[in-house]
Amino acid sequence: MPGRRVRPGFSVVRLVWLVMLVSSLWPASRVLADAHRVFISSNGWHTGIVIAIADIPEESIPEAADFAGAVYLEFGWGDAEFYPTPDPGIGTTLRATFPGPAVVHVSPLDAPPGAVFDDVEEIALLLNAGQFRRLIDYIHESFEREGKHRVWPSARGLYRFSMFYPATGRFHLFNTCNTWTARGLAAAGLDVRVAGTQRAEDLMRQLYDLGAE
């Protein structure tokens, strides 16, 4: 019985086609592998940045080690007197409108913020490796360490196991927690306006306009 004829060059053509197919898919798969999902949380007046603790590089944000059992960490920034006070009076509120020291609030979460808090709105953002690294650097630099490797908590936080830490920057009426969040996203490379972003809705509207998840 005669052997089966194979078209000359068939195997080579097929190999070249497979190489081209894999090459065309590799950049997309690489981008997906390097992407990080972060969440922006809002309770209507205050916004925060939520990051999976496993995504934080070991050399960055050493204070994250205080929450080793967490799945996510929520980072917020605000006035050092007003923010930690559960029921601030009119005097504390008025003082917060003028420039004053700030704190970073770190909250450990076991799920994205929308699944943990009933009254919280969340927006998911997918950042590439460069954007994510710049956002991490921004948060890292928001802690006031005074030249030390890390800083210890200055007060207990608003929720169970959350903590306040001394922060860089000065809080005032035109530089709020929402301005801080917007500045971090702009530093990451997102098209977010910082000037004029004082309210939570100012920021969340921008993120929806960007087509965020």
User: How many residues in the chain?
Assistant: 213
29, part of any domain: no
Residue 110 covered by a domain: yes
User: Domain range holding 145?
Assistant: 35-209
pLDDT band at 82 (very low <50, low <70, confident <90, very high): confident
Mean pLDDT of all residues in 99-118: 94
Model pLDDT for residues 152-192, shown as the tens digit of each residue: 999 999 998 999 999 999 999 889 999 999 999 999 999 99
Question: In this predicted structure, what is the pLDDT of residue 1?
Answer: 42
Looking at residue 5, what is its pLDDT?
Answer: 39
Q: Is 127 within a domain? A: yes
- How high is the pLDDT of residue 200? 96
Return d(Cα 32, Cα 25) in angstroms, integer.
Answer: 11
Tell me, yes or no, whether 162 lies in a domain. Answer: yes
Q: Is pLDDT at 20 greater than 70 in this prediction?
A: no
Residue 143 lies in a domain: yes
Q: What pTM did the predictor assign?
A: 0.81
Q: Is residue 58 part of a domain?
A: yes
Rounded distance, CA 46 to CA 78, Å?
Answer: 9
Q: Does residue 16 belong to any structural domain of this protein?
A: no
Residue 46 lies in a domain: yes
Number of domains in the chain: 1
